[in-house]
Amino acid sequence: MPEWQGLTPHARARYLYALARQVQKHGRRLAVLETMDNGKPIRESRDLDIPLVARHFYHHAGWAQLLAQEFPGYVACGVVGQIIPWNFPLLMLAWKIAPALATGTPWCSSPREFTPLTALRLRNLPGSRLAARRGEHRTGDGSTGESLVKHPDVDKIAFTGSTEVGERFAKLRRRATRKFRSN
């Protein structure tokens, strides 16, 4: 994904603004999918979650343009693996991918196997495909997130979930990074 990193901050911001507008435009459908995914009331999905998702993309579009000024010499850290919980699937996804897109950081997310609908829909919104294509969603059971943690090309992990799973992932990551370094 070097071409994404090579985009100017202004160009990355344009993609983020477009993604935010698509979230607003398709907010009703996203709210229904979010409610179907995790069972929360439609009013909460429609009136809270979806507007917050759009605001995150707008906010990080602004940061994309300020990045060089506020953090001179910044370099993307490499691929970030993102493990998304079940309770706020679209909002947590926005929290994780908006900064990655703003900074030119490649990402791979793993939404919970019970709640993948909004992540998959976000990726396929008309007009947002270019920005969403700069990363990928891997769906599947719990082993999908585990494979991200163990993958040698993933440089950082962004995990939201239970303490028990977080501790297990931390141990797996330490073992995996030691193995990668010794090779």
Give the mean model confidence (pLDDT) for residues 47-57.
Answer: 97
Question: What percent of the chain shows pLDDT beyond 90?
Answer: 37
Write down the pTM of the prediction: 0.85
Q: Which two tokens stand for residue 79?
A: 């691929």
Q: Compute CA distances 125 → 21, 107, 108, 117, 149, whole Å.
A: 10, 18, 18, 12, 28
149/154 Cα distance (integer angstroms): 7
pLDDT in tens, 92-116: 999 998 998 899 888 888 888 887 8
pLDDT in tens, 13-49: 998 999 999 999 999 999 999 999 889 999 999 999 9
171/167 Cα distance (integer angstroms): 6
* CATH fourth-level superfamily of 2-182: Aldehyde Dehydrogenase; Chain A, domain 1 (3.40.605.10)
Q: DSSP per residue over 14-64, as a string?
A: HHHHHHHHHHHHTHHHHHHHHHHHH---HHHIIIIIHHHHHHHHHHHHHHH
Position 121 scores a pLDDT of 85
Query: Where along the chain do its domains lie?
Result: 2-182
Strands (E), the chain: 79-84, 107-111, 135-137, 154-159
Position 140 scores a pLDDT of 65
